[in-house]
Amino acid sequence: MKKDELTENDIRNIHILIGKNVKKMRVKKKMTQLQLSCSIGHSAVGTISMCEIHLNDKHFNIEHLFRIANALDCNVIDFLKDI
């Protein structure tokens, strides 16, 4: 394996960190999981709550991240901090 290749564990850790960063930004903006869910077109908190903690390997996709960034009035790059 090449030095610059990502392992499955690397990808998992990236998803975990993105979930934590989304939660951090959501809390900073004083938005509940339900408010955020509704603002991106979901009627329940399942996706947000599971992705924030990477439950059952659930993670945000790029569309989620752009919609969430718009709802939180931030930049998608904010979710990639410390990666």
What is the domain-level CATH number for residue 61? 1.10.260.40
| 3 domain-assigned | no
d(CA 49, CA 37): 9
How many structural domains are present in the chain?
1
d(CA 37, CA 71): 9
| 30 domain-assigned | yes
| 18 domain-assigned | yes
pLDDT class of 4 with cuts at 50, 70, 90 = confident
Average pLDDT, integer, range 46-75: 97
| 13 domain-assigned | yes
Domain membership of residue 46 as a residue range: 8-80
Q: Which is nearest to 61 in space by CA: 81, 79, 82, 38? A: 79
| 1 domain-assigned | no
| 25 domain-assigned | yes
Would you state the pLDDT for residue 3? 64
Neighbours of 9 (CB within 10 A): 8
Neighbours of 77 (CB within 10 A): 9
